[in-house]
Amino acid sequence: MKNFSEIKVGDKTEFEVQIDESIHKNFSSISGDKSPIHLDDDFSSKTKFGKKIGYAFLLTSFLSRLYGEYLPGGSSICVKQESNFIKPFFIGDTIKIKAEVFNKIESTKFVEIKSEMYRNQEECIFKGKGIVQVLFEKNE
Amino acid sequence: MENLKEIVSRVLEVKDVENISREKTEEWDSFNHLMLVSEIEKNLGIKFTIEEVEKIKNYENLKNIVSKK
């Protein structure tokens, strides 16, 4: 777990998540979103996407993992998040989440982090900026 | 570049900033207080101490603290 002073502008991380049926169905259950564009093969085959699309807000759930586990990790809370869902993703895709610290504000212990997500190593599907507040100081 | 008044107006979503205070202005809650401080630091290129952040009670006194930077 890093405290505020140990976090540096330019700190980076990345990790991958495989989108399988289980994750897709679990998110449907948690969110309560039963839209046919996500769950009905016949319906979604007639849309411009041609098949069921993944849940946009499933992507933001990976930001929870990002902030809580990797960057900065540990005792931080997200206080603001901007999210741009650029392109769809699908069951079976591998999503790579990349993030970097681009600003720190000492007086409020805010850390600003930009994030991008790519499907199958190539296509950028998400861009976001978030602010997390680091609560933990080792000398407190 | 935004000036102080414009930043306060944008972050707190109030039009008339001259007479606002943390006590009287509903929009100026503890969360927006931190957002306001961070936006002022970023946009005006100044830094507050933790003591100054706690001292800010209204627009007038915020303006005084900023003017001394």
> Can you list the domains of chain A with their CATH numbers?
4-134 (3.10.129.10)
Amino acid, res. A140 = E
Whether A108 shows a pLDDT value over 90: the answer reads yes
Contacts of A131 in chain B (CB under 8 A): 38
B4-26: pLDDT as tens digits: 999 999 999 999 999 999 999 99
Alpha-carbon distance of A9 to B43, in angstroms, equals 17
Total-model pTM: 0.85
Order of strands, sheet of A94-105, starting from the edge strand that comes earlier in the sequence: A12-18, A94-105, A110-119, A123-134, A76-85
Contact A107/B48, CB-based, under 8 Å?
A: yes
Contacts of B31 in chain A (CB under 8 A): 79
Contacts of B42 in chain A (CB under 8 A): 103, 105
Contact A131/B38, CB-based, under 8 Å?
A: yes
Contact B37/A79, CB-based, under 8 Å?
A: no
Whether A139 shows a pLDDT value over 80: the answer reads no
B39 touches chain A (CB under 8 A): no
Alpha-carbon distance of A32 to A83, in angstroms, equals 21
Specify the CATH architecture of the domain B4-67: Orthogonal Bundle (1.10)
Number of A to B CB contacts under 8 A, please give it: 27
Is the ipTM, as predicted for this complex, more than 0.90? no
Alpha-carbon distance of B40 to B54, in angstroms, equals 15
A17-47: pLDDT as tens digits: 999 999 999 999 999 999 999 999 999 999 9
| 3-state SS record for B5-57 | HHHHHHHHCCCCCCCCECCCCCCCCHHHHHHHHHHHHHHHCCCCCHHHHHHCC
What's the confidence (pLDDT) of residue A91?
97
Interface test with A, best of B7, B36, B38 (most A CBs within 10 A): B38
Amino acid, res. A75 = S
